[in-house]
Amino acid sequence: MLSTMQDVPLLISRMLHHGSTVHASSRVTTWIGEGAPRRRTFAEIGARTAQLAHALRDDLGVRDDDRIATLMWNHAEHVEAYFAAPSMGAVLHTLNLRLPPKQLVWIVNHAADRVVLVDGSLLPLLVPLLPHLTSVEHVVVSGPGDRSGLAGIGPRVHDYEELIAEKPTAYDWPELDERRAAAMCYTSGTTGDPKGVVFSHRSVYLHSMQVNMAHSMALTDADTSLIVVPQFHVNAWGLPHAAFMSGFNMLMPDRFLQPGPLAEMITTERPTHAAAVPTIWQGLLAEVTARPRDLSTLTQVTIGGSACPPSLMRAFDTLGMRVCHAWGMTETSPLGTIARPPAHAIGTDEEFGYRITQGRFPASVEARLRGPDGDLLPWDGTAAGELEVRGPWIAAAYYGGADAEPLRPDDKFSADGWLKTGDVGTISPDGYLTLTDRAKDVIKSGGEWISSVELENVLMSHPEVAEAAVVAVPDEKWGERPLATVVLAEGATVGFEGLRAFLAETVAPWQLPERWTLVQAVPKTSVGKFDKKVIRKQYADGTLDVTRI
C-alpha cells in the first residue's frame, strides 16, 4: 500500500527559495576589518545566487555534475556559491586553504574541479598550484588582490562581480533527484591520501532540519550566528544551509579570525550564537581576560571539532556564554551529537555532567559500540568501545575519483554498512556519548587503556596551563606510556612535579605521565585539532626536550 503524500524532492534550491522569500530581510554581514561591514539580505543573496548560476552555465559552460571548487574565507559570496552550484545541478567542492599545497593539488585533481572560485587575498596560495591542476579551466576571482601572477598561466580568469553583472536575478532551478551529489569535502588526510565525502541534496536538507531542532542549535530569525567555523570545514557545520531554513542572520568573519577582531565583532554586531573549534575559544578567552569586553549578547556557543576542556566551559559560563558541546566529523555532515542536558537534570548537580559529554544522538543517527574483540557493547555508561554510526546524513563510502569507480570501499565502513568513526567512548542508557579518546590515540599501557583526553582535560584545568596534549610513546616495560606536552600560561611558575601532583588529585597513580616536555604551542591540524602525529614524530626524532620524573 502506498501513501497519499506528495513526493517533493528535498533540494537545496528549495531551501534557497524559502530563505530568500520567507526570510528575505535576514542578513549576511561580512566583516571587512576597518570600516563598516558589508551587509546583504537573504533576498539579495538569492538574486545574486541566480546571477552566479547563469554565469557559470552560460559563460563558463558548467554542466550537471561538474565540480565547482571554492578557495574562500567565510563571507557572502561564499554563501552564494553554496547555493548556486548545487541548485543548478553542479557540485560544490570547498577547498581547505590550510592544507599543504601538495594535498590541495591532489584533491583538486582527484575531484576533477572545472572551476575555482577564489578570494583575491588567497591568490598567492592558488597561483603556484595552477600549473599542476589538470582539470581546472576557469578561475573566478572575488575581491581585491594581486592578479598579475594569473597572466598566461592557463585557465581563463574572470572577475566575480563582472561575471555576474547584468545577469538575470531569477533562475529556473531544475527538479533534481534528491539523492544526487550536492557538495563534497575531503578529510584532512592524516593517514594516506585525503578521502572525499559527497553529500546529497537529501542529506544536506535533513541535516539542516536537525541543526534547527530545539535540542540542537535552536536558532530562529531573532538570532545572529557568528560563523567562525570555516565554510570549508564540513559546510560550516551546516549553518549556512540551516540559516536559509529558519532565517537566522549570519555574521561572517572573512579572514579576521584572530581573538582581537573576533572580540570586536561580538561587541559591535551583537551576535547571540557562535560556532568554532576549542582553540578559537581559548584564544578569545585570553583576549577578553586581558582586555575585558561586553560579550553579553553572545549567550550560546557551539564547540565541536575536538573535545572542549571542562575548564574552558566553566570559564565561559562565568562570562555568561553557555557552551554547548557537539560531536561530528566530515563523514557525518557533521552533526552526530549535541550536548543539551535532559529536562530532569537542568538546574541540578547533574547538569554539568551532561554538558561535558559529546551529547545525545538525534533520532536520525543510530549508534553502537564495538569492543576490542569485535563484540557489541551495552549502553551502560561504562563499557568503552569504538563508536559506529549510521543514518541519512552519514557517509556509506568515499569518492573514488573522476577516473575510477564512483564509490571507494574502505575499512572505515563495516560489512553491514556502519561508519567506523575511530572514536572510543561510552554511551549512557539515555543516549549520551562520552568520548574517551581516538582509537589511534588511546595509550595501551600494561594491558590497560589510558585516556589521553582525560589527562589533557585535567592538565588544562590547572590555572597556569594554557594548552596540553598527551600522546603514547614506546616504553620497554609497559609497551606504551603517556608523554605530556605542555604550554604554560604567561607568568606561570609551576613545574612538572607540581603538574604531576595536580594530576594525582584526579587520576589513578598508574596513569600519571613520567615523561614531560614544554613547548611554545601544541601543533595543530588544518582544522585546529591537536596534531598528535607531529608530537609523536618529534619524540621519535629526539627533537623534544623531555624530562623524566
Please give the grid coordinates belonging to residue 479. 609497551
289 is catalytic: no
Q: Which of 80, 178, 331, 388 is catalytic?
A: 331
Contact 334, 313 (CB under 8 A): no
Is residue 510 among the annotated active site residues? no
Q: Residue 331 catalytic?
A: yes
pLDDT at 402: 80
CA dist 389 to 4, 206, 337, 523, Å? 32, 16, 11, 29
Q: What is the mean pLDDT of residues 151-176?
A: 96
**Which region among 144-148, 171-175, 279-283, 501-505 has the lowest average model confidence (pLDDT)?**
279-283
Of 70, 187, 272, 330, which is the active-site residue?
187
Q: Within 10 Å of residue 518's Cβ, how many Cβ atoms?
A: 16
Confidence band of 93 (pLDDT split at 50, 70, 90):
very high
| pLDDT tens track for 450-500 | 888 889 999 999 999 999 999 999 998 888 999 999 999 999 999 999 999
- Determine the pLDDT at residue 104: 94
Residue 3 clears pLDDT 80, i.e. is over it: yes
Catalytic residue among 412, 420, 444, 524: 444
C-alpha cell at 415: 560489512
- pLDDT tens for each residue of 177-197: 999 999 999 987 544 688 999
Q: Which of 137, 449, 517, 533 is catalytic?
A: 449
As a whole-number percent, the residues of the chain with pLDDT over 90 amount to 84
The DSSP output letter for 73 is -
237 is known as an active-site residue:
no
Distance CA 158, CA 340 (A): 46
Q: Check whether 395 has a pLDDT greater than 90.
A: yes
- Distances in Å between the Cα of 252 and the Cα atoms of 176, 260, 414 are 30, 15, 38
Q: What would the grid cell of residue 405 be?
A: 569507480
pLDDT tens, residue by residue, 282-336? 899 999 999 999 999 999 999 998 778 899 999 999 999 999 999 999 999 999 9
Which residue ranges form the domains of the chain, and what is each CATH number? 9-28+39-203 (3.40.50.12780), 441-548 (3.30.300.30)
